[in-house]
Amino acid sequence: MKIMVAIKRVVDYAVKIRVKSDKARPIEHKPSSGVETQNVKMSMNPFCEIALEEALRIKEAGMASEVVAVTMGLKQCVDTLRTGLAMGADRGIHVETSGPLYPLSVAKLLRALVEVEKPGLLILGKQAIDDDCNQTGQMVAGLLNWPQGTFASKVVLDKEKQVVTVDREVDGGLETLCLDLPAVITTDLRLNQPRYATLPNIMKAKSKAIKKFTPEDLNVEIKSDIEEVQVTEPPKRKAGVILSSVDELIDKLKNEARVI
Amino acid sequence: MERLRLRATGRFFRYCSNRSLFDRRLNTNSENSIHNSTSGYAHGFGKNCRDFHFFSDNNKWNVQTCFGFLRYQGETFRDSTEKGLLEKTRRFQYRGFGSLAAKVQRNPSFSTLNSDDISYFKEILGEKGVIEDEEWLATANTDWMHKYKGSSKLLLQPRSTEEVSQILKYCNSRCLAVVPQGGNTGLVGGSVPVFDEVIVNMSLMNNIISFDKVSGILVCEGGCILENLITFLDNQGFIMPLDLGAKGSCQIGGNVSTNAGGLRLVRYGSLHGNVLGLEVVLADGNVIDMLGTLRKDNTGYDLKHLFIGIEGSLGIVTKVSILTPPKLFSVNVAFLACSDYFSCQKLLMEAKRKLGEILSAFEFLDSKSLDLVLNHLDGVRNPLPPTMHKFYILIETTGSDETYDRQKLEGFLLHAMEAGLISDGALAQDINQASSFWRIREGIPEALMKAGAVYKYDLSLPVEKMYDLVEEMRTRLSDSANVVGYGHLGDGNLHLNISTAQYDDGILTQIEPFVYEWTSKHRGSISAEHGLGLMKANEIFYSKPTATVSLMASIKKMLDPKGMLNPYKVLPHSSSS
């Protein structure tokens, strides 16, 4: 069985996000969104790292024959794909696009790639930390008409029965689902701890193949029903005040905060 | 750093439903253990006040744990919020350390404080600047390793150079001994009183005076906390040329006074190169303005250098002008394994040649250091499982072009691997991974504190000889102690640490003076970056000839004839009597 994993290149989560100062920039030229991405550290989306790690563990347990990592976007996304290959993915696919990509387009591209590659399992991160959409996994499952196990915190594959058992984190506990393969899984934080890219694996990754596609190759038209109106910084937190008495506190709570 | 990190990670917490990724990644069950609450975060992510409550509610934790904890907190934020914690821990302190402090006699020529002195200080500083509060003084009297304790009854907090000058002028006329104190993060007992010296605490002189974006020259007061300067500069697109574990508490004035080294020295050089000017108050209260902001200035003797590394014995640094390099965004970190020390050296030579201008740190640790970190700190994992290698090297590069730097580093590493210099390695793919590699290197002191008693030696040695000392010490002490070696290999600076269950004079006599004699024999320095302080004042001759030391003593006599500035430190006690 083959596992396909979708990985996304995002601004590293330890980087402080800055909104681009040039608000007047033409909408059609912006690369992805209104935040500064020039000279900013880009990394693999942490949820995607977890997805890839899970696929690799399934393969190492002898339950899968190949792990294919897929990424979409600008040509620099190949760097992220190389990271995936250095972690241990067998080969990569890069769908090169130039404009912004929204979840539905990504889901359509993934469906087209699933038709090419025919994996038994498609694993994605539950969301990307840049747009926070949390939609792609659900959409692609819908498009493929495959069962979906989202926010997985545990994945157990049964090769014999061709089913996968997924624990999901839901409010107040865990929900366990049993899905028939092929299926879509999206990964939550507690699923696993991704490995480091070791030098021998980085070396091996250099010779691994990366196949290029364009949306046209896959017969997917990239369009968006979403218009991005504005990107702004969150309001700055105001400095606190030091009160001198309990009475003053009660007064503030009553009259300013209006909570009592 | 603390604030900076929290700010940076704040964004990420949003994505983590009800628990954070850091909980997940680095701190698997954070609710039940003090170890988790103290250490399970890369570079101190997400520490908060809850930790303190934990600590104070659990007095049954053994002394070592408390020490380790205190030390770690001290490294990251020893500010007002922490005072309560320090107080709580006071009851655990002081083991006999068999060290110098016991042998020093109070200089009888120093006066003792009287009520007139206090009223005078209140007159010049106001009520708020004169602190006699016992709890506060107990904290200020104790160094952060709890090795040294003074009995000062008075702490002064000047707000300006003028006030510092008035204090010193008065103390000098009254013959009251003074100890200048910054963040009190020193490791050699230099920043705490030995007896009843008046503590001059610089914390309130924490203003940034100017910053020139074109030249990168920062001018600030001596009491600025290093981390606050780092944060300030970060917003301007610059960095401080020095970085060290204690950045959350240590002050720039103290850094200059002790010529602090740290993690970036291999790239940006020592403070002698980066400090462009100083304003210093001498023992008699005279203000010496050397606060230049020029990179080149050959007019007469360059006296500022005299005050870099004097450990407060000639004057108090009130203002600093420092050259700051621009912040470069492309940072890569690799964690490598070497099978022998020779390979580490060759790797260093190669790194200097092949990585050239982008090399920004070259740190090493031995397997025993890694072992300590893995055993004593939570949320730390071995980057290169499953085998343990004899040596580990952390290489950091900093440059301006991500693709170019990466290619260069990868090329270098692959080449080194093919040449057999490194047996394994991992390259950080994102900032979190980079932090977790740094966490291993920076977590060693903390792990050592948790492991028990620790004897710390900070030595400069020729790189090729450096590790021989560790091995000799290991043979010497055999099973009685755990000898670990780590440090700034790129600077030839070894941190030799000897960890035992408890302090023991028998062990100490096995270590000292052997370690000093060995260092001296190999023309090393017994103090690379920590200073001499009280701990090594009498050992100065191991690294400096008598004639040099007597010149130092003459300078001291000239600038501080009464010897009232930071007495009993730096220079041998024979020279001051």
Chain B residue with minimum CA distance to A16: B8
Q: How confident is the model at residue B65 (pLDDT cuts 50, 70, 90)?
A: very low
CA A191 to chain centre: 14
CA distance B93 to B85: 13
Answer yes or no: is pLDDT of B495 > 60.
Answer: yes
CB proximity under 8 Å: B 402-441 to A: 402-403, 406, 410, 413-414, 417, 422, 424-433, 435
Peptide bond into B567 cis (omega under 30): no
Could you report how far apart the first and last alpha carbons of chain A are, in Å?
61
Supply B476's token pair.
């010497």
Answer yes or no: is pLDDT of B49 > 90.
Answer: no
Average pLDDT rounded to a whole number, residues A115-131: 94
pLDDT at A218: 93
Residue A243 lies in a domain: no
Check CB contact of B12 with chain A, cutoff 8 Å.
yes
Place of tokens 């049993």: A178
Write the pLDDT tens digit of every residue in A60-108.
999 999 999 999 999 999 999 999 999 999 999 999 998 888 899 999 9
Place of tokens 């020779």: B342
Contact B342, B423 (CB under 8 A): no
Given an 8 Å threshold on Cβ–Cβ distance, is A189 in contact with B24?
Answer: yes
Name which of A13, A39, A44 is nearest B429 (Cβ-Cβ).
Answer: A44
Tell me the sheet residues that pair with B362: B395
Answer yes or no: is pLDDT of B420 > 80.
Answer: yes
CB proximity under 8 Å: B 21-50 to A: 21, 24-25
Higher pLDDT, B17 or A237: A237
Residue A163 lies in a domain: yes
**For the stretch B410-437, what's the b/e string if a residue is b when 16 or more beta carbons lie within 10 angstroms of its beta carbon?**
bebbbebbeeebbbbbbbbbbbbbbbbb
SS3 at position A33: coil
CB atoms within 10 A of CB B21: 21
User: Which one, of B360, B304, B322, lies nearest residue B233 by Cα?
Assistant: B322
Tell me the sheet residues that pair with B218: B211, B322
Contact A104, A218 (CB under 8 A): no
CB atoms within 10 A of CB B3: 13
Peptide bond into B241 cis (omega under 30): no
Best probe of the A interface among B1, B24, B395, B405, by most A CBs < 10 A, is B24
Given an 8 Å threshold on Cβ–Cβ distance, is B14 in contact with A16?
Answer: no
pLDDT at B403: 86
Given an 8 Å threshold on Cβ–Cβ distance, is A203 in contact with B414?
Answer: yes
Residue A89 lies in a domain: yes
B67-71 contacts at long range (C-beta below 8 A, 24 or more positions apart): B67/B92, B67/B145, B67/B146, B67/B449, B67/B450, B68/B38, B68/B376, B68/B446, B68/B447, B68/B448, B68/B449, B68/B450, B68/B451, B69/B34, B69/B38, B69/B450, B70/B144, B70/B146, B71/B144, B71/B145, B71/B445, B71/B446, B71/B449
Contact B329, B343 (CB under 8 A): no
Name which of A169, A196, A203 is nearest B433 (Cβ-Cβ).
Answer: A196
pLDDT at A33: 53
Least confident of A53-67, B19-33, B286-300: B19-33
Residue A254 lies in a domain: no
How buried is residue B61: exposed, middle or buried, by Cβ count under 10 Å (0-12/13-18/19+)? middle
Q: Find chain A residues with C-beta within 8 A of B427's C-beta.
A: 86, 196-199, 202
Contact B395, B361 (CB under 8 A): yes
User: Which one, of B227, B267, B460, B223, lies nearest residue B355 by Cα?
Assistant: B267
Check CB contact of A14 with chain B, cutoff 8 Å.
yes
Contacts of residue B454, Cβ cutoff 8 Å, sequence gap at least 6: B448, B497, B498, B499, B500
pLDDT at A28: 52
Write the pLDDT tens digit of every residue in B545-561.
999 999 999 999 999 99
Q: How confident is the model at residue B577 (pLDDT cuts 50, 70, 90)?
A: low
Q: How confident is the model at residue B50 (pLDDT cuts 50, 70, 90)?
A: very low
Contact B17, B2 (CB under 8 A): no
Q: How confident is the model at residue B41 (pLDDT cuts 50, 70, 90)?
A: very low
Q: How confident is the model at residue A25 (pLDDT cuts 50, 70, 90)?
A: low
CATH number at residue A86: 3.40.50.620
Check CB contact of A207 with chain B, cutoff 8 Å.
no
pLDDT at A22: 60
Q: How far is CA B245 from CA A31, A37, B38, B81, in A?
A: 39, 30, 15, 19
Contact A48, A5 (CB under 8 A): yes
CA distance B446 to B255: 21
Write the pLDDT tens digit of every residue in B441-454.
989 988 998 888 88
Place of tokens 């000839």: B545
Answer yes or no: is pLDDT of B91 > 50.
Answer: no
Pairs across A and B, CB distance < 8 A: 100
Answer yes or no: is pLDDT of B71 > 50.
Answer: no
Answer yes or no: is pLDDT of B22 > 90.
Answer: no
Answer yes or no: is pLDDT of A153 > 60.
Answer: yes
Average pLDDT rounded to a whole number, residues B277-303: 93
Name which of A127, A129, A198 is nearest B12 (Cβ-Cβ).
Answer: A129
Residue A107 lies in a domain: yes
SS3 at position B172: helix
Q: Find chain A residues with C-beta within 8 A of B428's C-beta.
A: 196
How buried is residue A257: exposed, middle or buried, by Cβ count under 10 Å (0-12/13-18/19+)? exposed
Write the pLDDT tens digit of every residue in B319-353.
999 999 999 989 999 999 999 999 999 999 999 99
Q: Kindly give the pairing relationship between strand A197-198 and strand A148-158.
A: unpaired
Q: How confident is the model at residue A23 (pLDDT cuts 50, 70, 90)?
A: low
Answer yes or no: is pLDDT of B16 > 90.
Answer: no
Give B32-62 as a DSSP string: S-HHHHHH-SGGGTT--HHHHHHHHH-TTS-
Contacts of residue B457, Cβ cutoff 8 Å, sequence gap at least 6: B494, B495, B496, B497, B498, B511, B515, B526
Given an 8 Å threshold on Cβ–Cβ distance, is B425 in contact with A198?
Answer: yes
Give A212-255 as a DSSP string: EE-TTTTT-----S-------PPPPPPPP---S-HHHHHHIIII
Q: Find chain A residues with C-beta within 8 A of B426's C-beta.
A: 196-199
Residue A240 lies in a domain: no
* DSSP run (H or E) holding A79: helix A77-87
Which ipTM value was assigned to this complex? Answer: 0.84
Name which of B21, B24, B431 is nearest A41 (Cβ-Cβ).
Answer: B431
Amino acid at B576: S
Name which of B15, B24, B417 is nearest A132 (Cβ-Cβ).
Answer: B15
User: Which one, of B140, B160, B161, lies nearest residue B151 by Cα?
Assistant: B140
SS3 at position B570: coil
Write the pLDDT tens digit of every residue in B113-135.
999 999 999 999 999 999 999 99
CA distance B5 to B46: 8
Q: How confident is the model at residue A27 (pLDDT cuts 50, 70, 90)?
A: low
Q: How confident is the model at residue B87 (pLDDT cuts 50, 70, 90)?
A: very low
A21: left (phi over 0), alpha (psi -120 to 50) or beta: alpha
Average pLDDT rounded to a whole number, residues A162-177: 92
Q: How confident is the model at residue B31 (pLDDT cuts 50, 70, 90)?
A: very low
Average pLDDT rounded to a whole number, residues A184-204: 93
* List of domains in chain B: 2-92 (no CATH), 118-201 (3.30.43.10), 330-444 (3.30.70.2190), 452-530 (3.30.70.2740)
CB atoms within 10 A of CB B215: 13
Q: How confident is the model at residue A159 (pLDDT cuts 50, 70, 90)?
A: confident
Write the pLDDT tens digit of every residue in B175-221.
999 999 999 998 899 999 999 999 999 999 999 999 999 999 999 99
User: Which one, of B328, B316, B383, lies nearest residue B357 by Cα?
Assistant: B328
E strand spans, A48-147: 66-73, 91-96, 121-125
Residue A172 lies in a domain: yes
Given an 8 Å threshold on Cβ–Cβ distance, is B12 in contact with A13?
Answer: yes
Residue A244 lies in a domain: no
Answer yes or no: is pLDDT of B258 > 90.
Answer: yes
Domain span including residue A129: 2-234
How buried is residue B108: exposed, middle or buried, by Cβ count under 10 Å (0-12/13-18/19+)? exposed
Name which of B406, B426, B430 is nearest A199 (Cβ-Cβ).
Answer: B426
Given an 8 Å threshold on Cβ–Cβ distance, is B417 in contact with A203?
Answer: yes
Check CB contact of A132 with chain B, cutoff 8 Å.
yes
pLDDT at B576: 62
Contacts of residue B297, Cβ cutoff 8 Å, sequence gap at least 6: none
Domain count, chain A: 1
